[in-house]
Amino acid sequence: MTGKSPGHDQATASGDGVPAYTESARAILDAAERLFSTKGFSAVSMREIAAASGRHLASANYYFGSKVGLFEAAFLRRIVPVNARRLELLERYRASGRTDLEDVIDAYLQPLFDPDEPDPAQAARLIMLFSKQLLSNPGEHEYLQEYYDEVARAFIVAIESARPGLTPTDVVWGYNYMIGILVFTLAGQENLARIPAGTAGVLQADSSPQETIARLKRFICAGIDSLG
């Protein structure tokens, strides 16, 4: 655990709160994202990341200190703007009277699939892979948990308001079940449960992020409603 944003001394904050790294640091972060998403966190070394970025290992260590520090920087670069958009969209929906459970879940899901990304589905997958690493090793990345606190509080309150018949315990469990569903299903089809032979062909890639969001909303809303 680094205890602060990795590379802080070598970067200045951008408008959305994410450090604005130098060109070399961004190249290292880009390479780390590619390798983490294809090989997993444990299977990648700092030397491999540096080589993939075309930079020296010393530069990677200078900017990020360690592989954990590099992971945390890559995570923050993705999750800080996503969580900011979640809160903004939730408030926008509330202000316009859109406070049903489906609207709340939509506000959580839509920012994962950034339309400005070349591949929105891959960007969502990467964020959930980072989340999976974080949730699997909470002690190693403890300070990153705070970046979810405000979002968790806001969405738990919104779910409770949308479904006042649920107990506080059910609301909290419903929120956590949603996180589990997203981590598992968006981490890539190779991580899905094994499908019986002869039926694998029915699992086709969604035609668009909106199709994925619509399916997730139906399932998550039905699951939360079933707790009442």
Where are the chain's structural domains?
8-225
Q: Crossing angle for the helix pair 209-225 and 120-136, nearest 10 degrees?
A: 40
Is the pLDDT assigned to residue 17 strictly greater than 60? no
Query: Distance of alpha carbon 19 from its chain centroid, rounded?
Result: 18
Is the pLDDT assigned to residue 9 strictly greater than 50? no
Q: Which amino acid is located at 213 in the chain?
A: I
What's the pLDDT tens digit per position in 164-222?
999 999 999 999 999 988 888 776 555 555 666 666 566 566 668 888 899 999 999 99
- CATH assignment, 8-225: 1.10.357.10
Is the pLDDT assigned to residue 12 strictly greater than 50? no
Q: Tell me what pLDDT residue 54 has.
A: 95
Q: Crossing angle for the helix pair 67-95 and 23-39, nearest 10 degrees?
A: 90
Phi first, then psi: what are they for 171, rounded to 5°? -65, -45
Q: Using only C-alpha atoms, what is the Rg of the chain?
A: 19
What's the pLDDT tens digit per position in 79-98?
888 999 999 999 999 999 99
What's the pLDDT tens digit per position in 126-137?
787 777 777 777
Mean pLDDT over residues 118-130, rounded? 76
Report CA-CA distances (Å) from 220 to 135, 188, 210: 20, 18, 15
d(CA 55, CA 24): 7
Report CA-CA distances (Å) from 15 to 19, 69, 81, 167, 212: 9, 22, 10, 38, 30
| Mean per-residue pLDDT of the chain | 83
For 132, the token pair is: 């999976």
